Amino acid sequence: MNKWEELRKPFKRSEIQWRVQRCGKKNGKIWAVLIPYIDARTLQKRLDSVLEPHQWQTKYFTIGDKGLICEMEINIDGKKAIRQDGAGFTNIESLKGAISDAFKRTCSAFGIGREVYDIGEVVVTDVKEGYPPKGENIVKVYDKNKGVMGWCYPPNYDVEIQEVKKDTPDVSADSLDDNPFLEI
């Protein structure tokens, strides 16, 4: 396997994390729409494990007061490749969030971690109410404004990313409030 293939190989299930994109309550049951992501540290570990320190670097440029552009250069066998992508400042830790998001997007521009986009949104209808158990791999589901507090396990899928789509109900995430699927 060459270095480009090593950089682009799919991440392990344990390296993919999930965050809540939307959540709510329907008929007394909590639902959530989850999206997968790979955090910046995991992407950095991949780059460091495949390449020497001098073979990759990043630079950041501001977009006024809107966000940042990350420029990444990868040099393999004397061939240099450069990609850029950007992200806006985030609501929590705005600069750190923008740096991390721009870095993740730039990695994706190289094909590193891009498989999470194939997973897409996953609707979870078996969210448990209350505080999550300690020491388990869980996703916290919380929305103070909607009075939602719960947790769920990460969506179950096999190494083949396409399996998620087979197990995911055919639900338009934009119309969850009107979705008959959620009426269990």
Give buried/exposed letters for 35-69 (b at 16+ CB in 10 A, else e).
bbbbebebbeebbeebbeeebbeeeeeeeeeebbb
pLDDT band at residue 180 using 50, 70 and 90 as cut-offs? very low
121 and 31, same structural domain?
yes
What pLDDT was estimated at residue 87?
96
- Residues 61-75 have pLDDT tens digits of 999 999 999 999 999
Note down the domain range covering 142.
Answer: 1-38+117-168
Angle at 19 between CA 13 and CA 25, to 5 degrees: 125
In a domain, 179, yes or no: no
Of the chain, the percentage scoring pLDDT greater than 70 comes to 84
The mean pLDDT of 101-108, rounded to a whole number, is: 97
Report which of residues 94 and 174 the model is more confident about.
94
Same domain, residue pair 32 and 53: no
| Region 24-44 average pLDDT | 93
Whether pLDDT at 143 is above 90 = no
Average pLDDT of the segment spanning 5-20: 93
How much is the mean pLDDT over the chain?
83
Query: Is 50 a domain residue?
Result: yes
pLDDT of residue 157: 52
Same domain flag for 105 and 61? yes
**Distance in angstroms (rounded) separating the CA atoms of residues 57 and 106:** 12
Distance CA 11, CA 161 (A): 10
Q: Looking at the structure, tell me whether residues 59 and 108 fall in a common domain.
A: yes
Q: Does any domain span residue 140?
A: yes
Quick: pLDDT tens for 153-162.
888 654 333 3
Q: Yes or no: say if 88 and 94 are a contact pair by the CB < 8 Å rule.
A: no
Same domain, yes or no: 107 and 121: no
pLDDT on residue 145: 81
